[in-house]
Structure 1
Amino acid sequence: MANTYKNIIFDLGGVLLQIDAQRSIQAFRELGMPEMIRPGGWGYNHPVFLEMEAGKLSDEQFRTGIQELLPQPVSNETIDNAWCAMILEYFPERIELVRRLSANYRVFLFSNTNAIHIRHFQGLFKRTFQHELSELFEKDYYSSEIGLRKPDPASFDFVLNDAGLKAEETLFVDDSDANIESAKKTGMNTIWLTPESDLLSFF
């Protein structure tokens, strides 16, 4: 890895944490929800999901929005379980990589996510590794908490400014091409992690 890098920003889902969006799509489909993903590719078909990830809705407002998309009432637990069905297990070798890198670089997390998912994957991390996810990073940034989602360029500017990072000294790792292209415009170096990529080989 280039010696000019001083900072690394990791995405979470698809990079450090295994996710399968089809599991949530199927779970909501079984509850009678219309297709939640736009035809032709990844992207939410209903604003309630985007507003939740941008921090514009409380948990209760999100659940109410979901109820309005379903043909019959369901419990809050059922909604949360369907929404979190996409979250699988962490990549242990990648978690260990972050630990090693943090000895020589300033390491951060930046994820498009929401309060319900945060509680779920933070709990999963603590049960798996016996310490908090946030302890891996100098700071973790979540779209619902900063009010900005990737690939909005303003979201990257926020993280860089808040952490006091220079873009040209920062490496950004994400599994979304759209996020990578937007990050490049800030001047950051990037790694687009595809399903075929071996993250460890980049370092």
Structure 2
Amino acid sequence: MKADLSNIKNIIFDMGRVLLNLDFDASIKAFQKLGSKGEVLDHKNAYADPVFYNFEVGEITPAEFRAGIRRLLNNEELTDKQIDDAWYAMLLDIPGYRVKKVQELKKNYNIYLFSNTNQIHIDRLLIEFKAAHGIDFPDLFKAVYYSHEIHDRKPEISSFEKVIVLSGVKPEETLFVDDLEKNVLAAQKAGLKTLWLKQNMEMAELF
């Protein structure tokens, strides 16, 4: 199955599990090793505490996020690096074949990125991507929109409306690609055309 690109001029990619391989459990396990007790950071209730949401929409600083993690884990002795390493553990790699596919698409389409993310993740990702691929990650796109910078996140319809305004795209000429159905449904309500990247589907094979 190939993506329907008829009348499409712009493509907005999600990052996690579309471009970037993720393992949410890796951070859960890393936090548990640092002192998590009870159900605060177990598999059922992972990331339910408001500190995670607030960090993702840029309402708190990295320092405030780390303080929140120390509170959650009941461990005031944790260093910034221990917290950052555990939090970053979920981010794996962006394979070269996906990078090449985005570069190919960029020749014929305006390519954008819209990701629910946070400053700690992005700061390190940019460094590791440059080391792995020899190019700057934002250079793959016409523009990048991170939730912590636009102070809004998927699946809020307002977040898509904000990206549409900031990018200047026409929704009917724009394809949004995401791995979560709730994000795809919200994007449709904002007028975007969509592609739901279901489990076991590979972005690079659909274009």
Secondary structure in 2 aligned to 1:83? helix
Q: After alignment, is 192-201 or 160-169 more displaced?
A: 192-201
Residue in 2 aligned with 1:87? 91
Mapping for residues 1-203 of structure 1, pairs under 5 Å:
1-33=4-36, 34-36=39-41, 39=44, 44-72=47-75, 73-203=77-207
Deviation at 1:37, TM superposition (A): 5.9
Q: TM (normalized to structure 2)?
A: 0.93
**Cα pair 1:94 1:200 within 8 Å, conserved:** yes
Secondary structure in 1 aligned to 2:47? coil
Q: How many residues align?
A: 201
Q: 1:76 to 1:163 in 2, by over 3 A?
A: same
Q: Structure 1: where are the runs of 5+ without partners?
A: none
Instruction: Write the distance in 2 (CA, Å) between the matches of 1:35 and 1:108.
Output: 35
**Cα pair 1:156 1:186 within 8 Å, conserved:** yes
**Cα pair 1:25 1:35 within 8 Å, conserved:** no
**Cα pair 2:96 2:133 within 8 Å, conserved:** no
Q: 1:38 to 1:161 in 2, by over 3 A?
A: farther
Q: Structure 2: where are the runs of 5+ without partners?
A: none
Q: Runs of 4 or more off by more than 4 Å in structure 1?
A: none
Deviation at 1:36, TM superposition (A): 2.7
Deviation at 1:38, TM superposition (A): 7.1
**Cα pair 1:54 1:147 within 8 Å, conserved:** yes
Deviation at 1:91, TM superposition (A): 2.1
Secondary structure in 2 aligned to 1:18? coil
Instruction: Write the distance in 2 (CA, Å) between the matches of 1:56 and 1:199.
Output: 32
Q: TM (normalized to structure 1)?
A: 0.94
Secondary structure in 1 aligned to 2:93? strand
Deviation at 1:32, TM superposition (A): 2.0
Instruction: Write the distance in 1 (CA, Å) between the matches of 2:103 and 2:159.
Output: 25
Q: Structure 2 counterpart of 1:186, which letter?
A: A
**Cα pair 2:56 2:147 within 8 Å, conserved:** yes
Deviation at 1:56, TM superposition (A): 0.4
**Cα pair 1:37 1:45 within 8 Å, conserved:** no
Q: After alignment, is 157-166 or 43-52 more displaced?
A: 43-52
Q: 1:182 to 1:38 in 2, by over 3 A?
A: farther
